[in-house]
Structure 1
Amino acid sequence: MTGPVTTTAPSGARAALHRLRAEVAKAVVGQDAVVTGLVIALLCRGHVLLEGVPGVAKTLLVRTLAAALDLDAKRVQFTPDLMPGDVTGSLIFDQRTAAFTFREGPVFTNLLLADEINRTPPKTQSALLEVMEERQVSVEGERRPLPDPFIVAATQNPVEYEGTYALPEAQLDRFLLKLTVPLPEREEELGVLRAHHAGFDPRDLRAAGVRPVAGAADLAAARAEVQRVHVAEPVLGYIVDLCRGTRSAPALELGASPRGATALLNTAKAWSWLAGRDHVTPDDVKAVARPTLRHRLRPRPEAELEGVTVDAVLDSVLATVPTPR
């Protein structure tokens, strides 16, 4: 997924979000596609799973995006001994008042970075399910809503599986997008070294010149505009046919659910809006199909042994499902 090309003069909200790329690039080099995916998630009120080897600036990317959007961000390092209350918050007995009070957990933020989410047991992972789906925390029967906007950006290492717990399908389906954070190209990596040689400190974004260029009001205005993007009936049918095509793919034992089709509709609308269009084209759907669907599909064990990847299956489905004209 590469960044969309704007075809018309941007609206105020769209221009503000487009400025994010230049701002994030002050601290993170060569990750425009991932930044675009995170912006789409914010526009769709969705969550993102970031997958990449250690050292490709996944944490720095999320922190920089939050700073450029003037949003609150918190980070949780997921470990085998992390408890659900460490994430959502818990009741604490106050000896002065002889009563229990709720101490908010790190989920009470705008952008939660769940670092190495697959290193914590299912009990703690499940604590995020209500948070991600309902955007609230329930403690002792009382519901506590989370701030708006709120998204979870979770990271996982694709090459190290010792001491990890696979995310259940129900939780994977809660992520709007799965974005692959690639290793930089040679020139981009040289840029990283030059910045560090010149004194860049990834812990001090302000010193790097990162400033807020958009905020919650811009996101709210942008979401309202995204909702007005038109989707013609043939394009709706194309989205459905793509998802149904994954369900009948011989290499897959689990295809995209109706929730996946809804997610593809929403991400395609956000992509089209970022490109300056007021309607979704089949190419918009194709542009976001892989990051929107790849984590919702499960290959058959025999296909995995033969080296078949989910992205390869998606490429086949995209090539065989007729594109509306």
Structure 2
Amino acid sequence: MTNSEFETEIQSICKKFAEIKDTCSEFIVGNEHLTEAVFIGVISDGNVLIEGMPGTAKTSVIKIISHLLGCKTKRVQCTVDMQPADILGVRIWNTDIREFELKEGPIFTNILLIDEINRLPPRSQSAFIEALSEKQATIDGITTPLKNPFFAIATQNPIEQEGVFPLIEAQKDRFMLCVKSGFLKDDDELKVIKREQEGNLDIIRFLKKKPPALSPSEIIKIQDIVKNLKVSDSVMNYIRNIVVATREHGDVKLGISTRGSIALLRGAKSYACLKGRDYVIPDDVKNIARLVFPHRLILNYEAEISAVTPENIIEQILDTIEVP
């Protein structure tokens, strides 16, 4: 592919993203950053965790984006009594052919929506680990590849305390991005109320009028294009310096892993692509670090009792590290 053709592909991706973003805004009021974060996760071939209070449009955003991506989507509404087989599936004996057949669980799809993932018991949460990182599922000792593309988008309510099982560090690390969904501004809240009064908040009816903007094969092509964006040595050194700084910070108990470094690089390339560039600049790295790092950083006890947050640490580091 020539440079001119590559730049044309980049502009085409930008146009598709703008189309998806505009369509989402026809139904979703506010929280535009959710659409961008989910799309970045998709074209980076990564998983996304959305945190927010109930009723802040987390699931609606995912439903609309999934439809517009033209992907097969399944949803898991998590409960405390859910078993791994409810997610992965089971092998059942077929008396006609005298063999075990796989009855696929919801994980065999392109986009898996995991609603309230922190309500799953630890054993069922662990069932996702292999799928999130290796794109495969092992059922009764037999490993089966998942569909391509495959990515998971999970939601959780960080305030809920009863009947929840917080994700452990290894599980959170499998999510490339973590984005927060908050309450609307006053004006946006009024817009939602008016749309409900006018009968314009029926998501099923809305989606019936909107054709998909992409297909699974096009998503795979976009992912390949994003992987080929140019990243200079100075920007890669910048990424390395930021990651190392998280490990050496006095308020941090556990810094960013190597998986986090890779997620930052992939996310920065996707962000650059959505801005119409075929190369990454330091600002791309900064913007994505705010999505890639917070859920991975573990602060020490002194920092926690001093009300220091991962976001505070990240901003300190970004302000301190020399920009190339």
TM-score, L = length of structure 2: 0.93
CA distance in 2, matches of 1:211, 1:21: 14
**2:232 aligns to what?**
232
**2:294 aligns to what?**
294
CA-atom RMSD in angstroms: 1.8
Deviation at 1:27, TM superposition (A): 2.0
SS at 2:294 equivalent: helix
Q: 1:306 to 1:205 in 2, by over 3 A?
A: farther
CA distance in 2, matches of 1:87, 1:167: 17
**1:138 aligns to what?**
138
CA distance in 2, matches of 1:128, 1:10: 32
CA distance in 1, matches of 2:224, 2:265: 15
CA distance in 1, matches of 2:88, 2:115: 15
**2:275 aligns to what?**
275
Deviation at 1:209, TM superposition (A): 3.6
User: Does residue 193 in structure 1 map to residue 184 in structure 2?
Assistant: no
Name which of structure 1's ranges 56-65 and 138-147 shifts more when overlaid on structure 2: 138-147
Deviation at 1:259, TM superposition (A): 1.1
Equivalent position amino acid for 2:139 in 1: V
Equivalent position amino acid for 2:230 in 1: H
- 1:168-203 CA-to-partner distances (Å, cap 9, x unmatched) read 111111100000112111222222112111113444
Name which of structure 1's ranges 128-137 and 24-33 shifts more when overlaid on structure 2: 24-33
Deviation at 1:205, TM superposition (A): 4.4
TM-score, L = length of structure 1: 0.93
| Aligned counterparts, 1:244-323, within 5 A | 244-323=244-323
- 1:33-90 CA-to-partner distances (Å, cap 9, x unmatched) read 1111111111111001100000001111111111111111111111110000000111
% identical aligned pairs? 36
Q: 1:74 to 1:116 in 2, by over 3 A?
A: same
**1:51 aligns to what?**
51
Do the aligned residues in 2 keep the contact of 1:24 with 1:68 (CA within 8 Å)?
no
What are structure 2's unaligned runs of at least 5 residues? Answer: 1-6
Name which of structure 1's ranges 308-317 and 142-151 shifts more when overlaid on structure 2: 142-151
User: Does residue 173 in structure 1 map to residue 173 in structure 2?
Assistant: yes
Deviation at 1:253, TM superposition (A): 0.3
**2:3 aligns to what?**
none
Name which of structure 1's ranges 215-224 and 27-36 shifts more when overlaid on structure 2: 215-224
CA distance in 1, matches of 2:205, 2:296: 35
Q: How many residues align?
A: 318
CA distance in 2, matches of 1:188, 1:67: 24
| Aligned counterparts, 1:63-142, within 5 A | 63-142=63-142
Deviation at 1:106, TM superposition (A): 0.4
Do the aligned residues in 2 keep the contact of 1:13 with 1:219 (CA within 8 Å)?
no
Equivalent position amino acid for 1:246 in 2: T
SS at 1:165 equivalent: coil
Deviation at 1:93, TM superposition (A): 3.0
SS at 2:92 equivalent: strand
CA distance in 2, matches of 1:186, 1:218: 38
Do the aligned residues in 2 keep the contact of 1:45 with 1:151 (CA within 8 Å)?
yes
Name which of structure 1's ranges 198-207 and 295-304 shifts more when overlaid on structure 2: 198-207
